[in-house]
Amino acid sequence: MASVQIEHLTKTYSSNSKVETLALDDLSLTINKGEFFALLGPSGCGKSTLLHIIGGLSSASGTILINGEPVKGPGLNRGIVFQEYALFPWKTVLENVAFGLKMKGVPKKERDLKAREYLALVGLSGFEERYPDQLSGGMKQRTAIARALAFDPEVLLMDEPFAALDAQTREILQEELLRIWEKTGKTVIFVTHSIEEAVYLAQRVAVITARPGRIKEIVEIPLPEHRTAEEDIRSSAVFTEVRHRLWKLLSEEVVNSGALNGYGRPQTVTREVGEKAPLRLAARERTGEA
């Protein structure tokens, strides 16, 4: 059953009356209920634009349906987690997580209870009274995830949520996100630059073309749904194979985007900590080595 249905989405940015940027071009896509779906594409292909439009933060021509209901603006059926946490610095962790519930009109006692429940789910019990500047990056992102989940949205939209974290914290949070996804059964749409992250987390990965963004191909990830670090799935033959396939698809688009952006050479495809430098493919990506 479709959770998110995107039909003929086209987005043009007008910086001024003379300059127009076609960011997304007639993009259609269906994401199933409870699916973990990743969007992968070269820098500037329109991944964030697409996520923001689904979130109702930006408008476009075309249609988006969430559970059959058209998106007309932001709404509580979608929770968004950004790369830069976006927490209220003057509110405690508990107040940050309870915020969406307050907006929903949930009474204080009930919303505090719910907020504590979601903080426990992301492993932050005991940190309720801290302020965001007293937390590590990983803890801030856990708070942001708890906040997005607390009002029980149909869809969780995540825009490179782990890109600013160090590699180890990133892997820990990937694990936790999978656990939370399994437990809550949410539909997750996850934007990333990292092929490895997309393969590790998602059930399907859409490779987006260089701008203007269209769906180049949707790749099914033939790994078991329940993935844990102990099983070392990243070293398996299936993982390596699908990663290489995605790398090939993505590298064609990176070359295209390099040419389109006037760099004259391909852009970086990163697998690790969210680099965006417009240079060449990393050696490991070229060979597909671990």
Cα angle, residue 267 at apex, residues 10 and 23 outer, rounded to 5°: 10
Q: With DSSP H G I counted as helix, E B as strand and the rest as coil, what are the percentages for the chain, rounded to 5? A: 40, 25, 40
Residue range at the interface with ligand ATP (CB under 6 A); choices 15-23, 118-126, 165-173, 282-290: 15-23
Positive or negative CA dihedral for 170, 121, 189, 242? positive
- Cβ atoms within 10 Å of 39's Cβ, excluding its own: 26
Residue of 49, 92, 141, 187 interacting with ligand ATP (CB under 6 A):
49
Helix (H, G, I), strand (E, B) or coil at 208: strand
CB of 82 to ligand ATP, least distance (A): 11
- Strand order in 204-208's β-sheet? 78-81, 155-159, 187-192, 36-40, 204-208, 215-220
Nearer to ligand ATP, 114 or 193 (CB): 193
Distance CA(5)–CA(1), nearest Å, equals: 10
CB 44, min distance to ligand ATP, A: 4
Nearest-approach distance from CB 43 to ligand ATP, in angstroms: 4
Nearer to ligand ATP, 16 or 235 (CB): 16
Decide: is 192 part of the binding site for ligand ATP (CB under 6 A). Answer: no
Question: What is d(CA 57, CA 37) in angstroms, rounded to the nearest whole number?
Answer: 20
Tell me if 55 contacts ligand ATP by CB under 6 A.
no
Q: Which is nearer to ligand ATP, 155 or 208 (CB)?
A: 208
Q: Which two tokens stand for residue 58?
A: 């930006």
Q: Which stretch binds ligand ATP (CB under 6 A): 26-34, 46-54, 65-73, 198-206?
A: 46-54
Stretch that binds ligand ATP, among 44-52, 70-78, 196-204, 233-241 (CB under 6 A): 44-52
Strand, coil or helix: what is 62? strand
Residue 38: enclosing H or E segment and its boundaries? Answer: strand 36-40
Q: Are 68 and 4 in contact (CB under 8 A)?
A: no
Establish if 48 lies at the interface with ligand ATP (CB under 6 A). Answer: yes
Tell me the backbone φ, ψ of residue 37, rounded to 5 degrees: -120, 130
Identify the bridge partners of residue 213 per DSSP, sorted by sequence position.
Answer: 24
Which residues sit opposite 66 in a β-bridge?
Answer: 4, 69
Using DSSP's 3-state secondary structure scheme, residue 287 falls into helix
Annotate each residue in 245-284 with x if it binds ligand ATP (CB under 6 A) or - if it does not, as one string. -------------------------------x--------
Residue nearer to ligand ATP on the CB measure, 12 or 287: 12
Contact segment (CB under 6 A) with ligand ATP among 39-47, 67-75, 240-248, 280-288 equals 39-47
Q: How far is the CB of 247 from ligand ATP (least distance, A)?
A: 16
10 binding ligand ATP? (CB under 6 A): no
Amino acid identity for residue 89 in this structure? P
Query: Per rule CB under 6 A, is residue 21 in the interface with ligand ATP?
Result: yes
Binds ligand ATP by CB under 6 A, chosen from 31, 37, 38, 46:
46
Q: Which residues bind ligand ATP (CB under 6 A)?
A: 13, 15, 21, 23, 41, 43-49, 193, 211, 276
